[in-house]
Amino acid sequence: MDAIILQLLNGLDKGSAYALIALGLTLIFGTLGVVNFAHGALFMIGAFCAVALQRILGTSFVTEDPTQKDFLGNPLKVQTPYLESWFGPETGSAIIDWSVPLAILLAIPVMVAIGFIMERGLIKHFYKRPHADQILVTFGLAIVLQELIRSYFGANPIQSPAPEAFKGSFDFGVMLGFDPNVIIYPYWRMVYFAFSAVIIGAVFAFLQFTTFGMVVRAGMADRETVGLLGINIDKRFTFMFGLAAAVAGVAGVMYAPINSPNYHMGMDFLVLSFVVVVVGGMGSLPGAVAAGFLLGILESFASMNVVKNLLPGIDQIIIYLVAIVILLARPRGLLGKKGVMED
């Protein structure tokens, strides 16, 4: 039982990342009809916003310590962050310690700007082109963004630790009546799950309860009619692209402490997220979220030793297996509209 609860928690966490990326992909596909293969790169750039802010906050002045030597035998260069000299060692290091959550403040404008530039500068020219062209151009863009990050930050993963207050793990099992140390779960992963739920809720509330959201939903259902009513739907859809980029970016920021950011992390998530979108139903926001969590949990259960012993290699193919079964039985996906991906 304890193993099942642990894998359920793991699945919810994996599902959070899948759901957030799939949500952004679906927002873009549902509004603009574009299959955005650069979406994983936006998630990666978000994670590097955390790295960048960490570096900005940690910017230091350098002094030499003649009592210690560096690897060449020269006096050791000691770095002291400006923040520590300005606000004192404790306050300064506390600000640096909180660089990942603070990076959300940096990521939102950066990602919205990148989203706007991407949509207006490149993707709008491909609206009337076949999906294959859109895939090629966005995939190319993903590689360009990835290589830009690599050229500046290098190929090595970069640690972006969670604030000290959220390090370590929580004895979840004790709350459920288990013995201590049976079900422990990292604090930051719980934060990530809660944060994802808030973001998903906020996006749905925005679309459901605001006039802007209502117009966007109407535009998703019938773009031409909304346009005929004198509403500039293109402008709203461009905003939605920026919003989708921001969702991916903020998801990336919060993911940085879970697995160290590296320049190809976007590609690692991209294919899985597309499977999630297709399983959920192309264009369906609730479908993307539901499929994200479903596949995250199934993947987690498939990696349990008892399951792997029964079906070797199942952890590597479970997502694709489930996708095949669901699409055979229901080509439109779990919550997809009738007519999308089926005759």
Partner 1 sequence: MTKSNFTRRGMLKTGAIAGAGVALPTIFTASSARAYTNEPTGGTVTLGFNVPQTGPYAEEGLDELRAQELAVQHLNGEGDSGMMNTFSSKALKGNGILGKKVQFVTGDTQTKSDAARASAKSMIEKDGAVMINGGSSSGVAVAVQGLCQEAGVIFMAGLTHSNDTTGKDKKANGFRHFFNAYMSGAALAPVLAKEYGNDRRAYHLTADYTWGWTQQESIQAATEAMGWETVNNVLTPLASTDFSSYIAPVLNSGADVLVLNHYGGNMVNSLTNAVQFGLRDKMVNGKQFEIVVPLYSELMAAGAGANVQGVFGSMNWNWQLQDEGSKAFVKSFGEKYGRPPSNSAQTCYAQVMLYADACERAGTFDPCGVAAALEGFEFDGLGNGPTLYRADDHQCFKDVLVMKGKENPTNEYDTLEIVEVTPRAQVEYAPDHPMFAGGDLGKCNSGA
| Partners of 79 in beta bridges | 62
Site for partner 1 (CB under 8 A): which residue of 141, 158, 174, 340? 158
Q: Which residues contact 13 (CB under 8 A, 6 or more apart)?
A: 189, 192, 193, 258, 296
d(CA 255, CA 41): 14
Site for partner 1 (CB under 8 A): which residue of 16, 262, 273, 284? 262
C-beta closer to partner 1: residue 161 or 286: 161
C-beta closer to partner 1: residue 2 or 222: 2
Q: Is 148 in the site for partner 1 (CB under 8 A)?
A: no
Count of positions (residues) in the chain: 343
Say how many CA atoms lie within 13 Å of 215 toward its Cβ.
17
* Count, residues near partner 1 per rule CB under 8 A: 47
d(CA 24, CA 200): 10
C-beta closer to partner 1: residue 238 or 300: 300
Q: Which residues contact 156 (CB under 8 A, 6 or more apart)?
A: 262
- Residues in 81-140 that interact with partner 1 by CB under 8 A: none
Contact assessment for residue 289 and residue 203, using Cβ atoms and an 8 Å cutoff? no
Segment lying near partner 1 (by CB under 8 A), choices 182-190, 208-216, 244-252, 275-283: 182-190
The DSSP secondary-structure symbol of 290 reads H
Number of Cβ within a 10 Å radius of residue 9: 20
d(CA 88, CA 96): 12
Contact assessment for residue 173 and residue 224, using Cβ atoms and an 8 Å cutoff? no
To the nearest whole angstrom, how small is the minimum distance from the Cβ of residue 260 to partner 1? 6
d(CA 244, CA 79): 38
Site string for partner 1, 222-261 (x = CB under 8 A): ------------------------------------xxx-
Segment lying near partner 1 (by CB under 8 A), choices 93-101, 159-167, 244-252, 326-334: 159-167
Strand-pair category, 184-186 with 169-171: antiparallel
Tokens of 71: 């690897």
C-beta closer to partner 1: residue 29 or 269: 269
Site for partner 1 (CB under 8 A): which residue of 211, 305, 339, 343? 305
To the nearest whole angstrom, how small is the minimum distance from the Cβ of residue 250 to partner 1? 19
Tokens of 130: 């076949």
Q: Is 169 in the site for partner 1 (CB under 8 A)?
A: yes
d(CA 265, CA 325): 28
Site string for partner 1, 73-92 (x = CB under 8 A): ---xx---------------
Q: Is 303 in the site for partner 1 (CB under 8 A)?
A: yes
To the nearest whole angstrom, how small is the minimum distance from the Cβ of residue 65 to partner 1? 9
Of 31, 18, 27, 20, the residue nearest 285 (C-alpha): 27
- Residues in 14-33 that interact with partner 1 by CB under 8 A: 14
Site for partner 1 (CB under 8 A): which residue of 81, 186, 242, 283? 186
Segment lying near partner 1 (by CB under 8 A), choices 156-164, 194-202, 281-289, 319-327: 156-164
Contact assessment for residue 283 and residue 337, using Cβ atoms and an 8 Å cutoff? yes
- Binding residues for partner 1, rule: CB under 8 A, are 2-3, 6-7, 9-10, 13-14, 68, 70-72, 76-77, 150, 154-159, 161, 167-169, 181-182, 184-186, 188-189, 258-260, 262, 264-265, 268, 299-300, 303-305, 308, 315-316
